[in-house]
């Protein structure tokens, strides 16, 4: 099923649901389909820590990554590498996107908060699996571009907000899961507060050369934390840079 985005520009972005071919840009006539299939087989299934979740693999096969990167790097859209998307930001390599998604254990009824919309690719992958994605982007140009691209692709269950993601989206909380695609030096307390009991968060934490991807579970008053992968993400900017935690 095709999914979509809403929002209001001037800090918010809202669009009505889009109707169209349920196969859309990722359908049988898509000339990029073979590249996506090869990406899933070789990059996601061919590693020692292979991605196993069928829903994640199906989403990665379907979402047209080439439609969510700048035209000048489109030929590399399915390569095993991060790509620049402008404004000093990058889109993670496909394996990292799939790995983070799988670690969240997304379920069809989940409501997920994403911090760091970027190109909109991670939000689109999640939107193929969960009921709703709310995504925050601090760079206004990236928020606007992602909103436009996701609307064009027919996504209707993604809501994008231009804001500082450190404080999350409190009026829409609580969330079943939170995914953060930029690295603060410590886990922001407001994001933890916006997780439901039993909720999961995956977030890169640490300074530029010493980041670890941390998986958190909120178990009553206890926060279970596990380092799952060494990574290198762009730093979280805005309030996170002020040293608040």
pLDDT at 35: 96
**For residue 22, what pLDDT is reported?**
32
Question: In this structure, are residues 183 and 235 in contact, taking their beta carbons and an 8 Å threshold?
Answer: yes
Q: For this structure, is 92 an active site residue?
A: yes
3-class SS at 173?
coil
Q: Please answer whether residues 44 and 93 qualify as being in contact, where contact means their C-beta atoms are separated by less than 8 angstroms.
A: no
Q: For the chain, which residues make up each domain, given as ranges?
A: 5-22+81-242
pLDDT of residue 1: 39
Catalytic residue among 92, 119, 135, 163: 92
Secondary structure tally for the chain: helices H, strands E: 6, 11
Helices within the chain (DSSP H only): 33-38, 54-62, 94-103, 121-127, 140-152, 189-193
What is the C-alpha to C-alpha distance for residues 172 and 155, in angstroms, rounded to an integer? 19
Kindly state the tokens that stand for 59: 């989403």
pLDDT by 10s per residue, the chain, length 245: 334 444 333 333 433 233 333 334 445 567 899 999 999 999 999 888 899 999 999 999 999 999 999 999 999 999 999 999 999 999 999 999 999 999 999 999 999 999 999 999 999 999 999 999 999 999 999 999 999 999 999 999 999 999 999 999 999 999 999 999 999 999 999 999 999 999 999 999 988 778 999 999 999 888 899 999 888 888 888 888 775 44
Cβ-based neighbours of 209, under 8 Å, separated by 6 or more: 232
Please name the fold of domain 5-22+81-242: Rossmann fold (3.40.50)
């Amino acid at each position: 099923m095709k999914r979509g985005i809403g929002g209001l520009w001037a800090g918010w972005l809202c669009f009505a649901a889009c109707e169209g071919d349920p196969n859309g840009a990722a359908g049988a006539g898509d000339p990029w389909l073979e590249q996506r299939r090869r990406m899933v087989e070789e990059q996601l299934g061919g590693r020692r820590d292979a991605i196993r979740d069928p829903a994640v693999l199906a989403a990665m096969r379907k979402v047209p990554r080439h439609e969510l990167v700048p035209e000048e790097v489109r030929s590399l859209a399915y390569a095993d590498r991060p790509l620049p998307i402008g404004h000093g930001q990058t889109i993670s390599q496909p394996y990292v996107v799939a790995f983070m998604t799988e670690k969240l254990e997304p379920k069809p009824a989940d409501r997920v908060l994403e911090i760091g919309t970027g190109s909109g690719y991670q939000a689109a992958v999640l939107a193929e699996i969960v009921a709703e994605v709310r995504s925050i982007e601090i760079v206004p140009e990236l928020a606007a571009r992602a909103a436009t691209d996701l609307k064009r692709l027919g996504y209707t269950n993604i809501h994008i907000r231009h804001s500082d993601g450190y404080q999350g989206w409190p009026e829409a909380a609580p969330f079943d899961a939170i995914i953060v695609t930029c690295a603060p030096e410590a886990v922001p307390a407001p994001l933890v507060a916006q997780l439901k009991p039993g909720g999961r968060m995956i977030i890169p934490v640490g300074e530029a050369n010493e980041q670890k991807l941390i998986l958190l579970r909120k178990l009553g008053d206890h926060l279970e934390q596990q380092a799952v992968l060494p990574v290198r993400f762009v730093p979280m900017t805005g309030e996170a840079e002020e040293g608040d935690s």
